[in-house]
Amino acid sequence: MTRYSAADIEAKWQEAWDKAGIFQATRTADKPKYYVLEMFPYPSGRIHMGHVRNYTMGDVVARYKMSTGHNVLHPMGWDAFGMPAENAAMAIGGHPKEWTYNNIADMRGQMKPLGLSIDWSREFATCDPEYYGQQQALFLDFLEKGLVYRKNAVVNWDPVDMTVLANEQVEAGRGWRSGALVERRELTQWFFKISDYSDELLSALDTLDNWPAKVRLMQENWIGKSRGLQFAFERTDGAEPITVYTTRPDTLNGASFVGISPDHPIAKAMEADDADLAEFLAECRKGGTTAEAIETAPKLGRDTGIRVKHPLNPDWELPVWIANFILMDYGTGAIFACPAHDQRDLDFCRKYDLPVVDTFFALDDSTPVATEAFVPPKEQKVKWVSHFAGLDEATGDEAINATIDLAEKDGWGEGVTKFRLRDWGLSRQRYWGCPIPVVHCDACGVVPEKKENLPVELPDDVSFDKPGNPLDRHETWRDCACPACGKPALRETDTMDTFVDSSWYFARFTAPRAETPTDMAEAEYWMNVDQYIGGIEHAILHLLYSRFFARAMNICGHLPDSAKEPFDALFTQGMVTHEIYQTRDENGRPVYHLPEDVEDGKLKATGEALEIIPSAKMSKSKKNVVDPVSIISAFGADTARWFVLSDSPPERDVEWTAAGAEAAHKHLSRVYRVSAEIAAMDDAATGEDEALLREMHKAIDEVTKGVESFGFNAAIAKLYGFTNTLAKSKAGGAAKKQAAKTLAQLMSPMTPHLSESVWEMLGGTGLATTAPWPVADAAMLVEDSVTLPVQVNGKRRAEISVPKDMDKAEVEKIALAHEAVQRVLNGGAPKKVIVVPGRIVNVVA
């Protein structure tokens, strides 16, 4: 008998599948389609266990759907633009393009041995001119429909390197290379008008039944629809009033000051002839652009000297302060502060000694606010100190509505709905991205490039020896003729955010070689993605941008109406985590090391001791990645696939450990060995046949349910159990062969190569991969008797075995008669007996 040799059988079966062409997605009328997609990878150069886990899950779904009679589309591509390629060019020389395509070739080579059921004929990379040229066409269509525009927005500015930094390149407020204190600076940039769709993107979340509730909730909060009051404060100096937006107008009687953002036009106007104030604003603009940096920065404020009148009491004057925690992007960039009921306002008022006035108290506690603001939920009833609408006890919601009504009636304000969602800034001051296809002409202004001139290709002759965008320095590329008037003009040198690339690749997969962005007939057949699988880290941005893009593409005629929500079902897998190994360089900055370079907490090469940082998401920058290639060469792809599915529920994070791989391999060897033994048996029946076949049908039932519900780990646990049953069963050859063939089929989505070999040795017809999925016989799942636990006061005291449909009174009698129950009752009569049929008996003593 031959032993299980993954290396031999995996190559053999991959060749057989290839030859049969079974993974090519084809449109036929006789079968329903199924589109399964895993979020495509960034080509870092090495696949890691997170990829293996992600693609194996998708592969299980794809293979299962194939064997249940679907035309399956299961494509793969590369999210190939982005910063790491430029960083590599700067660090080690070479060209981003070469680096990226080499990485893609390497990763494809590492991925293919996994035996995934991918239609490789549809592969593309987002950095292929054929792809990004179509993306430029989309941009021009969006521009025509008014979905793209330009405005100013702040970026991280490194004043030493004189360059824009990504948030990731800002560490503790300093540029990662120069170490200079980062400032916020305004640039004119391109924006997608995603805010046009705020309300629709919000309300359509309700239709996404097969998305995780947590993702829908996160998107809902991100879009952040709020109803509030917008009104203006009259200035005592008669200048233009200051318009504010507030979601808590009911607390207007607790107003302490009016606050404006450091980026507010009033602040900017004053800056010009007030050096002192200019210095203060420069201080406010220090640090990065992230919400976190802004909101956790120490509170800074300055009195502008401007005074405004309270809208409800003209004699009540409020000071106008500039405060660094007020965002220009949200609302009107100006607020009124009510410190008693907002922690940020309170912290600010305590720091600058501004008044704190309570406007309401809890029903049972009238302690004035000291250091903690009183912020009850808006549904909670509170006791009002004084409310201008005459309220005494009312909820926040009631008070807000009353205030808006009052303001509208008296004409000093109006109720407005606002969204937290901002327009999507897509401009990047970088080389390795999709060029924005417009030209700047002195005479004509901003002019779109003509579609026949697409793609606007990136030039290859660039250098990365200086900071900043090489396109800015590339004169022969930058200088061009205006598409409108033909005079000399300048090409836009900003490229697109890489989120643009990933916002429509799923649509492109339906017709990857089309000479328009999509092919309607193909899109209509294959869209939507029936099952999308990816990391929870994409819960908001990528998925929201893709939902916007699907709508925008629909408006431009690139997707059908039915594809406005492009992902029917979403599954967010947990991340693969790993410890981080770090040393420090001479400046005390962290240097990271790959797990394969580490042994016993020391660097293999030098023996230097390492700091071990607890598990975090595997990331290229932290180097805490594990190489699946060594697992595959040692044990085979099936072992790797089996292991990543078996040890952890798919939605949860999994900590990679090498320990389990060997056990998985042992089990697969056992399946192979047991199957070979069974193949050699004669077919005589025994009295054990039925028991085995009953177990087989239970396995079919449970594994099918597991695969359909992403309960892969549970399905695998059942397969372990069924393998044990099969190995120990005294059933005859015919029954055991049937059971073993079924086992092979049930394992096939997870361990396709092993399953083909088992299928073959047991005389299965054709390929196991294309054989119809087994169906459980309901009659074989029914049990005659059932074991019930008996509890007394919620503690288990006994177990009884009764016929499945015995009536409650009879069950109760048997339970009470049990010796252990009698002992606990100690002669007393039970107060109550609860019988849950088929489940449990609970005696209340």
- Of 81-140, binders to RNA (CB under 7 A) are 81-84
List the Cα angle 305/306/312 in 5-degree steps: 135
For 668, the enclosing helix (H) or strand (E) is helix 659-679
Which residue type occupies 680? A
Q: Which is nearer to RNA, 409 or 795 (CB)?
A: 795
Q: Minimum CB separation from RNA for residue 464, in Å? A: 15
Residue 75: closest CA among 538, 675, 532: 532
Q: Which is nearer to RNA, 103 or 136 (CB)?
A: 103
Q: Minimum CB separation from RNA for residue 17, in Å? A: 28
Contact 595, 630 (CB under 8 A): no
**Pairing outcome for strands 840-844 and 785-792:** parallel
Among residue numbers 140 through 199, which ones bind RNA (CB under 7 A)? Answer: 155-156, 164-168, 187, 189
Q: Is 648 in the site for RNA (CB under 7 A)?
A: yes
Which structure tokens are listed for 523? 């899109």
Which structure tokens are listed for 176? 């990662």
Beta bridge partners of residue 154, listed in sequence order: 186
**Pairing outcome for strands 445-448 and 393-395:** unpaired
Torsion of CA 765, 769, 771, 774, to 10 degrees: 120
Q: Which is nearer to RNA, 182 or 563 (CB)?
A: 182
Among 90, 278, 484, 541, binds RNA (CB under 7 A): 541
Q: Which is nearer to RNA, 387 or 623 (CB)?
A: 623
Among 292, 315, 365, 460, binds RNA (CB under 7 A): 292
Q: Is 289 in the site for RNA (CB under 7 A)?
A: yes
Stretch touching RNA by CB under 7 A, among 56-64, 435-443, 506-514, 534-542: 534-542
Residues 690-719 as x/- pattern, contact with RNA by CB under 7 A: ---------------------x-xx-xx--
Which structure tokens are listed for 714? 């549970």
Among residue numbers 725 through 764, which ones bind RNA (CB under 7 A)? Answer: 727-728
# chain residues binding RNA, by CB under 7 A: 100
Q: Which is nearer to RNA, 187 or 204 (CB)?
A: 187
Contact 769, 653 (CB under 8 A): no
| 236 alpha-carbon distance from chain centroid | 50
Stretch touching RNA by CB under 7 A, among 360-368, 441-449, 554-562, 643-651: 643-651
Q: Minimum CB separation from RNA for residue 252, in Å? A: 22
Q: Which is nearer to RNA, 75 or 82 (CB)?
A: 82
Stretch touching RNA by CB under 7 A, among 27-35, 304-312, 352-360, 835-843: 835-843
Among residue numbers 571 through 600, which ones bind RNA (CB under 7 A)? Answer: 575
Residues 6+ apart with CB under 8 A from 343: 372, 373, 375
DSSP 682: -
Give CA–CA dist 769/782, Å, rounded: 30
Helices 659-679 and 752-761 cross at an angle (nearest 10°) of 20
Which structure tokens are listed for 98? 């070469």
Among 218, 312, 480, 514, binds RNA (CB under 7 A): 218
Give the other-Cβ count within 10 Å of 74's Cβ. Answer: 26
Among residue numbers 341 through 380, which ones bind RNA (CB under 7 A)? Answer: 343-344
**Pairing outcome for strands 488-491 and 479-481:** antiparallel
The dihedrals phi and psi of 302, each to the nearest 5 degrees, come to -150, 135
Q: Is 769 in the site for RNA (CB under 7 A)?
A: no
Q: Which is nearer to RNA, 647 or 689 (CB)?
A: 647
Residues 6+ apart with CB under 8 A from 30: none
Give CA–CA dist 244/407, Å, rounded: 14
Which residue type occupies 50? G
Q: Which is nearer to RNA, 245 or 526 (CB)?
A: 245
Among 7, 204, 514, 540, binds RNA (CB under 7 A): 540
Q: Is 495 in the site for RNA (CB under 7 A)?
A: no
Q: Is 207 in the site for RNA (CB under 7 A)?
A: no
Stretch touching RNA by CB under 7 A, among 299-307, 354-362, 737-745, 793-801: 793-801
Among residue numbers 441 through 470, which ones bind RNA (CB under 7 A)? Answer: none
Contact 242, 260 (CB under 8 A): yes
Contact 787, 804 (CB under 8 A): no
Q: Is 427 in the site for RNA (CB under 7 A)?
A: yes
Q: Is 221 in the site for RNA (CB under 7 A)?
A: yes
Give CA–CA dist 352/218, Å, rounded: 35
Q: Minimum CB separation from RNA for residue 787, in Å? A: 5
Q: Which is nearer to RNA, 307 or 542 (CB)?
A: 542
Which structure tokens are listed for 397? 């919601």
Residues written for the chain? 845
Contact 333, 327 (CB under 8 A): yes
DSSP 45: S
Q: Is 213 in the site for RNA (CB under 7 A)?
A: yes
Q: Is 291 in the site for RNA (CB under 7 A)?
A: yes
Give the burial class of 39: count Cβ atoms within 10 A of its Cβ; 0-12 exposed, 13-18 middle, 19 or more buried.
buried
Q: Minimum CB separation from RNA for residue 346, in Å? A: 12
Q: Is 2 in the site for RNA (CB under 7 A)?
A: no
Which residue type occupies 789? P
Residues 6+ apart with CB under 8 A from 667: 642, 720, 723
Token match 């046949």: residue?
689
Among 257, 336, 499, 509, binds RNA (CB under 7 A): 499
Stretch touching RNA by CB under 7 A, among 135-143, 420-428, 452-460, 474-482: 420-428
Among residue numbers 33 through 62, which ones bind RNA (CB under 7 A)? Answer: 42
Among residue numbers 601 through 620, which ones bind RNA (CB under 7 A)? Answer: 614-617, 619
Q: Which is nearer to RNA, 217 or 282 (CB)?
A: 217
Q: Is 814 in the site for RNA (CB under 7 A)?
A: no
Omega of the bond prior to 435 within 30 degrees of 0, cis? Answer: no
Q: Minimum CB separation from RNA for residue 427, in Å? A: 5
Among 120, 222, 525, 592, binds RNA (CB under 7 A): 222
Stretch touching RNA by CB under 7 A, among 80-88, 94-102, 246-254, 477-485: 80-88
Q: Which is nearer to RNA, 221 or 386 (CB)?
A: 221
Q: Minimum CB separation from RNA for residue 238, in Å? A: 35
Q: Minimum CB separation from RNA for residue 830, in Å? A: 10
Give the other-Cβ count within 10 Å of 610's Cβ. Answer: 18
Q: Minimum CB separation from RNA for residue 16, in Å? A: 27
Which structure tokens are listed for 831? 């107060």
Q: Which is nearer to RNA, 296 or 463 (CB)?
A: 296
Q: Minimum CB separation from RNA for residue 471, in Å? A: 14
